[in-house]
A and B are shown apart, each in its own frame.
Chain A
Amino acid sequence: MSSLTIYRRELSSYFSQPTAYAIIVIFLFLSLGLTFSFGNFMRVGDSSLEWTFFFWQPWVFMLLAPAVGMKLWADEQRTGTIELLGTFPVSTWSAILGKFLAAATVWFVAIALTFPIVITVNYLGDPDNGAILSGYIGAFLVCCTFLAITMLVSACTRDQVVCLIVSVAICVLMVLCGYDDFTRELAKAVSPGFVEGIVSIGVWDHFRSLNRGLFRLQDFIWFGSIITVCLLGTSAILSAKRA
């Protein structure tokens, strides 16, 4: 119940200020722009959207998702409103949940607004819409994972800029780690076991399979557990800071 109140407040704060609009516009511009330019959307005729569209999503998210999440706790600590929140009869956990869902909703809207591309492929060809849907689910999960990481970082600092830089760095690492070109280079230098370890913290392995329309339980568990761990960590950091 109190989660819902906090969710509503956060969401209206995103949409009463330029933040959400700016990020949504930049996101649409980048993801559709990359699809039509480097993705060679018109020439390749990739109706599943796997390589032309979804391929770019993690690269865009790693830069933009932290921009949505950075204010969540950093701002609360800078302005001192955390003292209000901490003395309202709500648990830290419901505040965390409300805030996280609000940020996720902003991204849900942003991702949903890429629908013209789905209409286009359906008009031009005969795509597997199930695979496209699962690609979208994968993209949203990657985004939520990055948001959860940003939230964890924002609990540690009152400075939004520090939060943005640190969380982008972590997200970039997670995108690079499982990326084929990167791991191939890495494999030349270090042992295969180490490479495997690196790949396992990257997002690609899990994102790819969803792109192909495969619903593997392990992928959902992977995304789910990272998100849960980050949210639990946020709660732990917030209580540790007050002590």
Chain B
Amino acid sequence: MIEVVKLTKQFGSKLAVDHLSFSVKKGEVLGFLGPNGAGKSTTMRMVTGFIPPTSGDAKVCGISIVDQPNQAKQKIGYLPESAPLYQDMTVIGFLKFCAAIRGLTGSAKNEAVEKAIETCFLQSVARQSIDTLSKGYRHRTCLAQALLHDPEVLILDEPTDGLDPNQKHEVRQLIKRLGETKAILFSTHILEEVEASCSRAVIVDRGRIVADGTPAELIAQSGSGSLTDLFRKVTTRDTEPTAEAAA
């Protein structure tokens, strides 16, 4: 359902994403791992149509995001990294706005909003103004926005960032549950999450895929039975001298 073909993004002289190719099928949850600055968010922004790729293409349900952005965007639910929200609205007002912009009207809109509020446990803050919400609730409001139109493809940039342990658990369960009927791509820095909810994971480093497989395969690949070890082995660390500096 998500098909990424040789996606490349160049910012000035910096190559953020380098001919990245992968695909996520229906019923699959792909964990997107990698160190800071690896190009995870940039890839997601290109797949969701926020920034145009320098070259390459991403297809969502067979629709190219480059050629038919509006049709492709309808299929996607997206949670941006910083969980941006309109501060001057209430939670319910914001969700209604997002539902309306997705083309939902009348009772369908109200039902979608109610369901999203329930799924993300927002009942207690539904009528509160967004600028008075705590960080975790903001994050959940933005997650609710991504689920509103029951999209076939979910792209979540660090969905568990800033959540308390209970909510982290809930969101992992939610991702796993939704993953049965959708295609989900989510990035994270918490490696246990990969084992908890992913059916497959890729590790990116400097815009390239350096490891790809099911959690079990990756753990086997590490040799020591720990994902952390594999992650440290295949990615470049900021603490190491870089190739240029060494030369």
Contacts and interface: CB of A to CB of B under 8 A. Distances in A.
Interface in B57-115: 70-71, 73-74, 76, 78, 80, 82, 84-89, 93, 97-98, 100-103
Interface in A53-98: 79-84, 86-91
Interface of B: 45, 48-52, 70-71, 73-74, 76, 78, 80, 82, 84-89, 93, 97-98, 100-103, 145
A83 B50 contact: yes
B70 A79 contact: no
Q: Which 3 A-B pairs have the closest CB atoms?
A: A80-B84, A89-B73, A86-B50
B88 A13 contact: yes
Contacts of A242: 50-52
A5 B97 CA distance: 7
14 contacts: A5-B100, A9-B86, A13-B88, A79-B86, A80-B82, A81-B85, A81-B86, A83-B84, A84-B84, A86-B49, A87-B73, A87-B76, A89-B101, A243-B52
B82 A2 contact: no
Contacts, number: 64
Nearest to A84: B84
A17 interface: yes
A5 B101 contact: yes
Contacts of A90: 70, 101
B80 A79 contact: no
A189 B52 CA distance: 50
Interface of A: 1-2, 5-6, 9, 12-13, 16-17, 79-84, 86-91, 242-243
Contact of B89 (A2, A13, A88): A13
A87 B216 CA distance: 34
A39 to B, nearest CB: 37
Nearest to B50: A86
Given A5-B101, A9-B97, A87 B49 contact: yes
Contact of B80 (A13, A84, A89): A84
Contacts of A13: 86, 88-89
A89 B74 contact: yes
Given A83-B50, A243-B51, A88 B88 contact: no
B100 A80 contact: no
Given A5-B101, A12-B93, A242-B52, 4 more contacts: A2-B101, A80-B80, A83-B45, A87-B48
Contacts of A91: 70
Contacts of A88: 73, 98, 101-102
B88 A16 contact: yes
